[in-house]
Amino acid sequence: MLLSQNAFIVRPLNLFLMVCISLVFGISHDLPDYTSESCTFKISLRNFRSILSWELKNHSIVATHYKLLYTIMSKPEDLKIVKNCANTTRSFCDLTDEWRSTHEAYVTSLEGFSGNTTLFNCSHNFWLDIDMSFEPPEFEIVGFTNHINVIVKFPSIVEEELQFDLSLVIEEQSEGIVKKHKPTIKGNMSGNFTYIIDKLIPNTNYCVSVYFDHNDEQAVIKSPLKCTLLQPGQESESAESAKVGGIITVFLIALVLISTIVTLKWIGYICLRNSLPKVLRQSLAKGWSAVAIHRRDHNALQSETPELKQSFCLSFPSSWNYKRASLSPSD
């Protein structure tokens, strides 16, 4: 939930209410002694999970395991043990399934042990609306020629109470210029979300950071920058595939055309002929008339036997010797 103007007034009132409840109902657990705390607590929303972490101020104390207990301030109940953190060796605890309401204040007690010996006991009160910090979501970037795809990874299922009316911010940086993009996400923040930063300059380095916006700037944690250099020739896979396919198609067409021409030339259907001088062509025309009559008779004979087909090519030398050439067809 967003911080309201009365958020800082509610905290001391809740503390006063806890004191009154303890006095009236005689609750046995002690109130936290803020003057002698030996632990530093932090509650954060990590990948939409409520994670409570702690650190000992006295680093010389080494605990082998911890036990975490809590109760809700508005309810007259004793402290109860968090099942998944009853004997944990880790310095954090997932309280997503325990702390479901953001309107409640939670009284927390942490005990540290070395074997069977209790080393310390620290406690703290948490108001999720005030104390929660918001870690950035996981994301990836894919750079193209003039745009960047930002892929934000949300959990597949997110509790509605844990969304805190957060606004996603995608920050773009290039050459000292910072631009903020606030995409609109319809529905719950669940599954992967892709945002396109377009109208970018090719051959330019761009860096991107993703985080959640909040009224309390101290609660905002920005992600490390991820950078990419946009290349002029860097195109999408579909464009590259289309270009390669076009080159292959042109090559195959040229190969088929050349093979067809070579084959036709080899079997004699295509003849390369050189032009003869005009005078020689006129003289040869008379002499070749007899040849034309012979070929006509020969073709008529072939039409009667269709199974026998011939193809020949008549060619002349590329250079003609006019001294040796006879102009008479009888020669």
Residue range 195-209: average pLDDT? 95
pLDDT at residue 167, as a whole number: 85
Q: Is the distance from CB of 85 to CB of 93 less than 8 angstroms?
A: yes
Please report which confidence band the pLDDT of residue 4 belongs to, taking 50, 70 and 90 as the band edges: very low
Q: Which residue has the higher pLDDT, 78 or 265?
A: 78
Only one residue has tokens 């008479």, namely 328
Residue range 43-51: average pLDDT? 91
Only one residue has tokens 């210029």, namely 177
Q: Is the distance from CB of 28 to CB of 106 less than 8 angstroms?
A: no
Please report which confidence band the pLDDT of residue 11 belongs to, taking 50, 70 and 90 as the band edges: very low
Q: Which of 57, 58, 86 is nearest to 70 (CA)?
A: 86
pLDDT at residue 25, as a whole number: 43
Structure tokens at 197: 């930063």
Q: Which residue has the higher pLDDT, 182 or 166?
A: 182
Sign of the alpha-carbon dihedral angle for 278, 282, 284, 290: positive
Q: Where are the alpha helices (DSSP H) in 125-277?
A: 128-131, 237-267
Q: Is the distance from CB of 281 to CB of 320 less than 8 angstroms?
A: no
pLDDT at residue 310, as a whole number: 46
Whole-number Å distance between alpha carbons of 168 and 43: 20
Within 8 A by CB and 6+ apart from 120, the residues are 38, 39, 56, 61, 63, 111, 112
Whole-number Å distance between alpha carbons of 15 and 105: 9
C-alpha Rg value of the chain to the nearest Å: 45
pLDDT at residue 273, as a whole number: 52
Q: Which of 107, 128, 105 is nearest to 14 (CA)?
A: 105
Quick check: 49 pLDDT over 80?
A: yes
Quick check: 329 pLDDT over 80?
A: no
Count of C-beta atoms within a 10 Å radius of residue 234: 16
Mean pLDDT for all residues in the chain: 77
Whole-number Å distance between alpha carbons of 91 and 54: 6
Quick check: 12 pLDDT over 50?
A: no
Distance between first and last Cα of the chain: 114
Instruction: Report how far Cα 130 is from the mean position of its chain's Cα atoms.
Output: 33
Task: Report how far apart, in Å, the C-alpha atoms of 252 and of each of 67, 103, 229, 301 are.
Answer: 74, 71, 36, 42
Structure tokens at 116: 């069977």
Structure tokens at 188: 């719950």
pTM: 0.56
**How does DSSP classify residue 270?**
S
**How does DSSP classify residue 304?**
H
pLDDT at residue 10, as a whole number: 40
Phi, psi of 55 (to 5 degrees): -145, 135
Instruction: Report how far Cα 16 is from the mean position of its chain's Cα atoms.
Output: 50
Q: Is the distance from CB of 40 to CB of 152 less than 8 angstroms?
A: no
Q: Which of 103, 120, 12 is nearest to 65 (CA)?
A: 120
Whole-number Å distance between alpha carbons of 46 and 138: 10
Per-residue pLDDT reduced to its tens digit, 110-161: 999 999 999 999 999 999 888 888 899 999 999 999 999 999 998 877 766 6
Per-residue pLDDT reduced to its tens digit, 270-327: 665 555 556 556 665 665 555 555 555 555 545 554 444 444 454 445 555 545 545 4
For the chain, domains (ranges, CATH) are: 39-131 (2.60.40.10), 137-230 (2.60.40.10)
Whole-number Å distance between alpha carbons of 76 and 24: 10
